[in-house]
Chains A and B, each alone.
Chain A
Amino acid sequence: MSMIVTTDLSRTYNPDTIPVHALRGVTLTIGSGEFTAIVGPSGSGKTTLLNLIGGLDTPSGGRVLVGGTDMSRLSGNALIDFRKNHIGFVFQSYNLIPVLTAYENAEFVMLLQGRPEKERRERVRALLAAVGLEAHMDRRPSQLSGGQQQRVAVARALAPRPDFILADEPTANLDSHSAENLLDMMARLNGEEGTTFLFSTHDQRVIDRARRVITLVDGEVAEDVRR
């Protein structure tokens, strides 16, 4: 079943001055439960593609369908609510809320969704246990290592049971041990919960774990390999 469909997707920055074509007619289909890496050199359009799929940016041409919903037709709160209910984000710099504990950070999106407390508690505790942080759930981000923070970020992204997770260079700031742990954990959650993962990455360890690797060059799909 197709989770994400991009059709002739393009994004041009500064169209009126010095146009920069970040994406040029990208057409892709990402299926449900995939564990896919988008790779390519810096400036190839990886982050731009993720931003467009995540509804954080608006395409200059083409369209993005997520679960059958045309993202370009959503705006304002409808778009924010769509992201909240269907998409999980993991960022390169973790981006946890510094004044909330690990537990509160992981619970945050579920809270925005208005889920009942019991459901939130059970889900968040289970996820923090799954990412090996049940003993650290009362710690704030500043009291956690980079790897631990990124695992909390993954728990936050997974907690509301999104349709898929967009992870932009999730291992870029991690040492190799933490990166391996994180990848093990994400692979396990992908298997156990069937959550679709879409990474942008330079990291060979991530590429090696991916079951599908899409290579972008100059904003175009140069290669799409399934393993």
Chain B
Amino acid sequence: MNRSLVLAWRNIWRNKRRTLISAASVAFAVLFSVSVSSLQKGGWDRMLDNVVRFYFGYAQVHAAGYSEEQTIDRSMAMDADRMREWEGALGGRQVVPRLESFALASTGPATVGVLLSGIDPEREDAFTGLAARVVKGAYLQPDEQGLLVSAGIATDLGVGVGDTVILLSQGYQSATADGKYAVTGIVSFGSPDLNKLMVFLPLAEAQYFFGAEGRATSFVLDLEGQDEVPGALAAMRGLLDPEVHEVLGWEELIPDLVQARAFDEAGSVIVLIILYLIIAFGLFGTVLMMTKEREYEFGVLIAIGMRRGQLTGILWAEVLFLSLMGALAGMAMALPVVAWFQVNPIVFTGEMADVYEKFGVEPVMPTVVDARIFLVQGATIFLLAAAMAVYPWLRIRSLSPVTAMRH
């Protein structure tokens, strides 16, 4: 190994206790920040997964302007040939049609607002696994008139399987839409928001209910993950006239959630910045001592022929070794913690769970093992170490060997 690096490595062990304390402070900061970041990312990923993968999809096609004004009048004609053409452009990925609008659901004594979604039961199940979410009763059949109600709505209305629910809404082109349907099944979602919102009818029945035969408000592109979104958006935008259709990615479909995540993450970043500032001051104290107590030695080294840049490099390597040692230890401690809670997420119960659900958040906090979180900590520590090296550089730059050796 390069002799300067050997020298730097040995130098940091001159004062073992100080080195271990400094490295430990970095290690615990990294442990904390990796754990918090992983928990936060895990929670948001799960929420987005619930909302995106189990309902909105990673991309949708609408009639132009639907996202601005989500009414059934901005629905578009369904055409089986066109859907096949789109699926071809998506490399065989399925297109899932929906006809959606808000409605009132009533049992007489109780009435709630719902999002009524007309779905193709087979395609919807293939996309969201909706059939597996049926907790009571049976899943929808394409040609039946049954109603699938989410668990929260069922509770609010006080209905069970076999009970009747009256739906009332405004249909296509201001027609009155009303109907009476038997509940065939109850579904439960991970997302409390969806649990208190969704009611499903088979697509044909929903088209009849809204007076919008042969129409759909949205076509969900059944993509495997975020990585496929840019390609799918480009393919569909290349195929469709933007004057007639809009093609939106998941971030445009749920901007509120995206902004909420960004806001939450910004808050955490501030907390982590404060944490790292505290660590930086601790590290700086160590660097200050490492520099001040060895000025005599620096004077000798410059006298016998070591360039100031080489000397600064050694000091920088010392700070870097010390910081990275702490960072690696922190990561090593964080990895099993994060991996454990990824497999065994924290599940809140009781009042805490109620608080989470009140804010539309599933009361489950999983972590996620994401290499990027670890890399960001490593990069942060590297930058901190680089910043710390400014002080020895300034000292060494102006160091007079005679003055240094006089003390």
Contact = CB atoms under 8 A, between A and B. Distances in A.
B14 A98 contact: yes
A156 B301 CA distance: 12
A80 B297 contact: no
B271 interface: no
Interface in A117-161: 156-157
Interface stretch (A35-43, A89-97, A201-209, A217-225): A89-97
Given A51-B402, A77-B307, A99 B11 contact: yes
B397 to A, nearest CB: 10
Contact of A85 (B305, B309, B400): B305
A112 B402 contact: no
A12 B285 CA distance: 37
Given A51-B402, A56-B402, A99-B10, A89 B304 contact: yes
A111 B10 CA distance: 17
A13 B238 CA distance: 80
Contacts of A84: 304-306
Contacts, number: 55
B307 A57 contact: no
A112 B303 CA distance: 12
A3 B274 CA distance: 60
Interface in B359-391: none
B401 A109 contact: no
B289 interface: no
Interface string A38-66: 00000000000001001011000000000
A100 interface: yes
B308 interface: yes
Contact of B7 (A56, A89, A95, A100): A100
A111 B307 CA distance: 12
B177 interface: no
A83 B304 contact: yes
Given A91-B405, A98-B14, A112 B7 contact: no
Interface size grouping (class) on chain A: 20 to 34
Interface string B295-317: 01100111111111110000000
Interface residues of B, number: 23
Q: Is the interface of B mostly helix, strand, loop or mixed?
A: helix
B2 to A, nearest CB: 10
A76 B203 CA distance: 82
A112 B305 contact: yes
B305 A99 contact: no
Given A99-B11, A99-B14, A80 B402 contact: no
B17 interface: no
A216 to B, nearest CB: 18
A91 B300 contact: yes
A183 to B, nearest CB: 22
Interface in B283-337: 296-297, 300-310
B16 interface: no
A56 B303 contact: yes
Interface in B60-74: none
B3 interface: yes
A81 interface: yes
B304 A109 contact: yes
Contacts of A104: 3
Given A56-B401, A97-B7, A100-B7, A109 B305 contact: yes
A91 B299 CA distance: 12
A38 B242 CA distance: 93
Contacts of A199: none
Nearest to B404: A56
Contacts of B305: 80-81, 83-85, 109, 112-113
A89 B303 contact: yes
A144 B257 CA distance: 69
Nearest to A108: B304
Contact of A83 (B303, B308, B310): B303
Given A95-B297, A97-B297, A100-B7, A54 B307 contact: no
B402 A57 contact: yes
A110 B307 CA distance: 14
B289 to A, nearest CB: 16
B14 A95 contact: no
Contacts of A156: 304
A205 B310 CA distance: 39
14 contacts: A56-B401, A77-B307, A80-B306, A83-B305, A84-B306, A89-B303, A91-B300, A91-B405, A95-B300, A109-B304, A111-B3, A112-B304, A112-B306, A157-B304
Interface of A: 51, 54, 56-57, 77, 80-81, 83-85, 89, 91, 95, 97-100, 104, 108-109, 111-113, 156-157
Complex A-B, nearest 7 residue pairs according to Cβ-Cβ distance, in ascending order: A84-B305, A99-B10, A95-B300, A57-B402, A56-B401, A112-B305, A56-B402
Given A81-B305, A83-B305, A157-B304, 20 more contacts: A51-B402, A56-B401, A56-B402, A57-B402, A80-B302, A80-B306, A80-B308, A83-B304, A84-B305, A95-B405, A97-B7, A97-B297, A98-B14, A99-B7, A99-B10, A99-B11, A99-B14, A109-B305, A111-B3, A112-B305
